[in-house]
Amino acid sequence: MDELSDDPLVRSEPLPNDLRSIDPIDRALLGHLVADARITNAALAERAGIAASTCLARVRSLRERGVIRGYHADVDPDAVGLPLQAMISVRLQSDARDRLGEFTALVRRLPAVRDVYFVAGADDYLLHVATAGTGALRDLVATLNGHRDVAGTVTSLIFDHIRTAHGV
């Protein structure tokens, strides 16, 4: 044992979420799960070329390490009456930095908001929204612009959402 091994700042093993700890088999498993999260363990193991017990242990490890954060249904907004999608860029007032949590909590409660991104650049937030139509979108934008911390918004309509096949 060398003298540095007891130092808590020196690690010989990668951190749990360190990408170096994701090997080609893990990447294959993740790619298959991204394509079909409902795949059976047996089918996943077969596609990855490993034993079912090994597959189960690896997927469990990926979940426990936080690599796999969950399994989600991909709901088509059109099918549930929300055909109009948009990205709304939100710029906050310069004195609103201490209240970012308050604004984040507000937009998370808005039913039309599907995703919230806190971003760097000219804008502070990027919101992916889905509404029943232009009236509902206009009302949503008015609600956002009426908030004391919002300096302005820019809305871009989404014509098509092209999901990439890149899993990992």
pLDDT in tens, the chain (168 residues): 444 444 444 444 445 555 558 999 999 999 999 999 999 999 999 999 999 999 999 999 999 999 999 998 889 999 999 999 999 999 999 999 999 999 999 999 999 999 999 999 999 999 999 999 999 999 999 999 999 999 999 999 999 988 876 667
CATH class as words, domain 77-158: alpha beta
Cα–Cα distance, 20 to 89 (Å, whole number): 35
State phi, psi for 144 to the nearest 5 degrees. -65, -50
What dotted CATH number matches 19-64? Answer: 1.10.10.10
Q: What pLDDT score was predicted for residue 168?
A: 72
Q: What pLDDT score was predicted for residue 163?
A: 80
In eight-state DSSP terms, residue 153 is E
State phi, psi for 140 to the nearest 5 degrees. -65, -45
Tokens linked to 50: 């490993």
* Neighbour tally for 7: CB within 10 Å: 9
Cα–Cα distance, 151 to 147 (Å, whole number): 9
- Residue spans of the domains in the chain: they are 19-64, 77-158
